Amino acid sequence: MSVAETVRRKLSEKFAPLRLDIIDESHRHAGHAGASPEGETHFAVTVISPVFQGLSRVARQRLVYETLADELATRIHALSLTTLAPGEDSR
């Protein structure tokens, strides 16, 4: 299973998101620390989930980092997060 597929599965199971976008941005980091020629090391993720209702941005991101702890320790070098509750503006 690819890293992106693993991320999608774990985040879907944990947060039942209304929206989940996972973008592999590894190509933008070629030659930088943590980059792999195979890609799947740098991701931008947007999660919109009712689970985030009433939580601070930091608390939301901590939940995502906890959910992806194994991948962050081994396969993901960088993770850019947008974590929103339904009805919140992503701008």
pLDDT band at 30 (very low <50, low <70, confident <90, very high): low
Q: What is the residue type of 39?
A: G
66 pLDDT above the threshold of 80: yes
Tokens 């620390």 identify what position?
33
The mean pLDDT value of the chain amounts to 88
Neighbours of 15 (CB within 10 A): 20
Q: How confident is the model at residue 26 (pLDDT cuts 50, 70, 90)?
A: confident
Q: How far is CA 90 from CA 28, 81, 84, in A?
A: 22, 11, 7
Does pLDDT of 57 surpass 60? yes
Mean pLDDT of 6-32: 87
40 phi and psi, to 5 degrees? Answer: 55, 45
Quote the CA–CA distance of 76 and 74 in Å, as a whole number: 6
What are the residue ranges spanned by the domains of the chain? Answer: 3-84
- CA Rg, the chain, in Å? 13
CATH 3.40.50.2300 fits 3-84, yes or no: no
Name which residue leads in pLDDT, 22 or 29.
22
